[in-house]
Amino acid sequence: MRKSQAAILGLTLSFCLLAQQPVPKAISRAQEGLALAKQGKYKEAVVAYQQALAADPKLPGLHLNLGLALFKLGDFRKAIPEFQSELKSGPNQQASTLLAISFYGAGDFRTAAEHLKVVSAAYPDNKEVPYLLAQAYIQSSQYAEAAECFRKLLELDPDSVQVHILLAEALDGIYRTEEATAEFETAVRMAPKEPNVHFGLGYLLWKQKRYEDADREFHAELSNDPRNPLAMAYLADSLLKRSQDAPAAIKLQLALYETRGRVEALAGDQITFSHEPVPALGWPAMTMSFKLDPPTLAKGVKVGDRMAFGFEQRPEGPVIRRLSPVSAQ
């Protein structure tokens, strides 16, 4: 009887061990996926990993590798559940970090910040995560949290121009304009040729109605980048506010991006166009809304009209400054 029980126990253990062995097809397809991923063939790797998962969903590391291939393709939404599945098997620094970055890449900045905060605390040796966390706070309008992160980063690297600039943006977001101005002034002293550093300082001075000081910075930005549309547009606005209409008109003309489109909607100072591409900005043809400045530009315009228009790119969004009908072909 004891021998029979031992034999049964042995058979049971053998069956359990066999059941725990990875399915050969899953291993083969997973290995193929790894080889494809190493060649940069991420689409093909995704297919191989998915076939491996179908054969054996419990194969260790498979969800991580599938998530990574999707991540490399920029398909962050599909990568997220794979990293989440990987983390169910236990803590994993790579999966945790990639999950957080995937939320960031998918535009879910608030959730990204929540995950990045956890990753930053759990893995303090990763120096890139706090910077990305601060960026996620800015993107989700959590400016106070962003400012705190950037201050800590400055303690580690006080000579970082970018951190001074980003701290200024965060401080401006919580209406601490004078402190933000001081940070931009520091950035300008450290790196006067840094793209947009003079514009950022000029914009803050413009907000404080210090137009002459703002003009100086806009001119400095245009000295670095003669076609900078934001510096041109705000310089024109600053000149207009001081009744210097003629030079303002010249600057405004140079600041405008030009395209054409069909009017889809009109409401107050907003107009929606289905417009042609804007190569200077890398924009494809699309439908989007613009602010009108002044709103009277759209007097007599109706839905369905085809219009040529020139617009500025302002920090708060695109603003149409010139509008005219397109002659029927």
- The sign of the torsion formed by the CA atoms of 70, 75, 78, 82 equals positive
Q: Measured between alpha carbons, how far is 268 from 5 in angstroms, rounded to an integer?
A: 86
Q: What is the pLDDT of residue 21?
A: 57
Q: What is the pLDDT of residue 297?
A: 92
Q: Spell out the residues 6+ positions from residue 126 whose beta carbon is closer than 8 angstroms to its own.
A: 93, 97, 119, 120
Q: What is the pLDDT of residue 140?
A: 94
Backbone angles phi and psi of 242, in degrees to 5: -110, 25
Per-residue CA distances from 47 to 30, 36, 56, 131, 307 (Å): 10, 10, 14, 34, 46
Terminal CA-CA length for the chain:
99
Q: What is the pLDDT of residue 12?
A: 41
List, in order of start, the domains of the chain with CATH numbers: 256-325 (2.40.50.320)
Q: Spell out the residues 6+ positions from residue 206 whose beta carbon is closer than 8 angstroms to its own.
A: 214, 234, 237, 238
Q: Which residues of 75-90 are buried (b: 16+ CB within 10 A; e: fewer)?
A: bbebbbebbebbeeee
Per-residue pLDDT of the chain (329 residues; tens, 9 = 90+): 445 554 443 444 343 333 445 578 889 999 999 999 999 999 999 999 999 999 998 889 999 999 999 999 999 999 999 999 999 999 999 999 999 999 999 999 999 999 999 999 988 888 789 999 999 999 999 999 999 999 999 998 999 999 999 999 999 999 999 999 999 999 999 999 999 999 999 999 999 999 999 999 999 998 998 878 788 888 888 877 777 766 666 666 666 888 999 999 999 999 999 999 998 788 899 999 999 988 999 999 999 999 999 998 876 789 998 899 987 54
Q: Which residues of 237-276 are buried (b: 16+ CB within 10 A; e: fewer)?
A: bbbbeeeeeeebeebbeebbbebebbbeebeebebbbebb
Q: Measured between alpha carbons, how far is 307 from 327 in angstroms, rounded to an integer?
A: 9
Q: Measured between alpha carbons, how far is 322 from 298 in angstroms, rounded to an integer?
A: 10
Q: What is the pLDDT of residue 15?
A: 37
181 burial via Cβ count (<10 Å: 0-12, 13-18, 19+): buried
Kindly report the pTM of this predicted structure.
0.69
Backbone angles phi and psi of 57, in degrees to 5: -65, -10
Q: What one-character-per-residue DSSP string does 128-188 give?
A: HHHHHHHHHHHHTT-HHHHHHHHHHHHHH-TT-HHHHHHHHHHHHHTT-HHHHHHHHHHHH
Q: What is the pLDDT of residue 22?
A: 59
Cα dihedral 314/319/324/326 (nearest 10): 80
123 burial via Cβ count (<10 Å: 0-12, 13-18, 19+): middle
- Whose CA is closest to 117, among 147, 140, 87, 149? 149
Element (H, E) at 265: strand 257-267
Q: What is the pLDDT of residue 249?
A: 66
Per-residue CA distances from 21 to 7, 10, 233, 287 (Å): 21, 17, 67, 54
Q: What is the pLDDT of residue 241?
A: 77
The pair of structure tokens assigned to 306 is: 């085809």
